[in-house]
Amino acid sequence: MTGQAGLAPAMIAGNLTVADLRAALAAGWQDFRAHPQFGLFFAAIYVAAALLLLSTLFTRDAAAWLVPAAAGFPLLAPFAAVGLYEVSRRRETGEPMRWGAVLGALRGRGDEQILSMGVVVFVAFGFWLIVAHSIFAIFFAEPGMSANPFVFLTSKSGLLMILTGSMAGAVMALGFYTITVMSLPMLVDRDVDFLTAIIVSIGAVRANTVMLIGWAAFIAGLLFLAMVPLFLGLFVALPVLGHATWHLYRRVVSAPAAG
């Protein structure tokens, strides 16, 4: 698809290219370098939440939830990046960078639309945990097996569980990505309801399927690598990807033509 497709209240460009992805990533890096304090702040909250989750699982002897929690935690990243979208927006428009305004972006425009999306995010994460743990229980129903969740790495049942869980996780992650990749930046940028923003996001992915799924794969891979060294890589990866996603949104979604 080329050109633009009309989808009120937005026009969606359908000609996204690899060069656009690179440009967005470069712009995201520049935003992070210009105002690193915001990116480090939001990344710190994200990392602290991850460490708290892991600590809770271990202290409550619920290690069987560890793998699905680690696999699904990136689902929360788009909501964690809302403040970063506001930083990029303000840098783009030349507005002053104030902590109150950046943090206030999490409340949206006073209409609770972003908070509604936040509920969707956390419900999706909870649903993924239930699905993933159910898959684990199906393949490892023997007594005592859940106490050693990493046994799947050396067993046939474990390999089947990984395959099943990966397929289920990929479908859920793709669906979740499709409804959030453009909707959250749009809610920061414009006075629209979250359902309209979701529709625009779905339309953007349909119009740029190959490029935006490629972007999703890149995000997933980079976040996974960033999580490996005790989540430390997230202090750079999360802000840069957040800012870059804003620039992709600005490239793909524009205001409808007047008249």
CA dist 98 and 90 (Å) reads 10
CA dist 187 and 113 (Å) reads 7
In contact, 115 and 188? CB cutoff 8 Å: no
> Residues 121-154: pLDDT tens digits?
788 777 877 887 787 777 766 544 454 555 555 6
Residue 209: CB partners within 8 Å, gap ≥ 6? none
Range among 68-72, 157-161, 194-198, 202-206 rated most confident: 202-206
Q: Between the CA of residue 111 and those of 107, 117, 188, 198, 213, what are the distances in Å?
A: 8, 12, 12, 16, 30
Mean pLDDT taken over the chain: 82
What is the layout of strands, in order, in the sheet containing 253-254? 4-7, 10-13, 253-254
> Residues 164-217: pLDDT tens digits?
877 887 788 888 889 999 999 999 998 888 889 999 999 999 999 999 999 999
CA dist 169 and 112 (Å) reads 29
CB neighbour class for 132 (10 Å; exposed up to 12, middle 13-18, buried from 19): buried
> Residues 18-42: pLDDT tens digits?
999 999 999 999 999 999 999 999 9
Residue type, 179: I
What pTM, to 2 d.p., does this model score?
Answer: 0.83
> Which residue, among 89, 92, 103, 109, has the nearest Cα to 37 in the 3D structure?
103
Q: Extract the tokens encoding 212.
A: 């935006």
Range among 1-10, 229-238, 249-258 rated most confident: 229-238
pLDDT at position 31: 98
